[in-house]
Homo-oligomer: A and B are copies of this chain.
Amino acid sequence: MYSLKSLFTILFFPFLLLSISAHSYTHRARAPCKEMIFFFHDIVYNGENYKNATSAIVGAPEWGNRTIMSSPNNFGDMIVFDDPITLDNNLHSPPIGRAQGMYFYDQKDTFSSWLGFSFVFNNTDYKGSLNFAGHDPLMNKTRDISVIGGTGDFFMTRGIATLSTDAFEGSVYFRLRVHVKLYECWKLL
């Protein structure tokens, strides 16, 4: 009893609605498609700790230098890092990947930074990378940055990472807890 017309209607009418409204509505997320918690550990080069250092100041304002953070608030200091990622808060736990990228201090009147980096995994659990970018007002207990993409197991992913400072010692060591919440997951068939 289905005529050709009604068949068309059946098959394609909803596509019309969909294609029209496709991006006029707001995506609603109830829960992440994937969640993970990691720690990473940053030891800044201070002129005397080359062997242990995992990061180094590579840019600084005119009033700064590359072995001591600039004053006040480290404003303008840019740091490149190659930090171990661990599953717990112990610097000496076996690293399961590297956090590699940069951050710089970008506020004159308090400590705040901006991050552009990747988590790089090549182990039995995860192979691939997660790419992050965003603003990190590090005096706040928690703060969110963006997961802007990924590769391998994290192909095309997007989400949020909630950072918290788990520990710090002066301006030479800090440990960040990273709660990764992916809301857009992709699979390459």
Contacts and interface: CB of A to CB of B under 8 A. Distances in A.
A146 to B, nearest CB: 3
Nearest to A78: B58
Nearest to A83: B106
Contacts of A18: 15, 18-19
Interface in A31-56: 31, 33, 45, 47, 50, 54, 56
Contact of A108 (B26, B54, B78, B102): B54
Given A9-B8, A133-B131, A104 B102 contact: yes
A156 B184 contact: yes
Interface string A131-161: 1011101000001111111111001101110
A26 B187 contact: yes
B106 A101 contact: yes
Contact of A14 (B14, B54, B100, B187): B14
Nearest to A11: B14
Interface stretch (A87-95, A110-118, A169-177): A110-118
Interface of A: 1, 3, 5-6, 8-31, 33, 45, 47, 50, 54, 56-67, 75-78, 80-82, 98, 100-102, 104-108, 112, 114, 116-118, 120, 129, 131, 133-135, 137, 143-152, 155-156, 158-160, 183-189
25 contacts: A8-B12, A8-B13, A10-B14, A15-B19, A19-B28, A21-B30, A22-B27, A23-B30, A23-B183, A24-B29, A28-B189, A29-B156, A29-B186, A45-B62, A54-B108, A56-B76, A59-B78, A78-B78, A100-B114, A116-B133, A131-B133, A143-B151, A146-B148, A147-B149, A156-B159
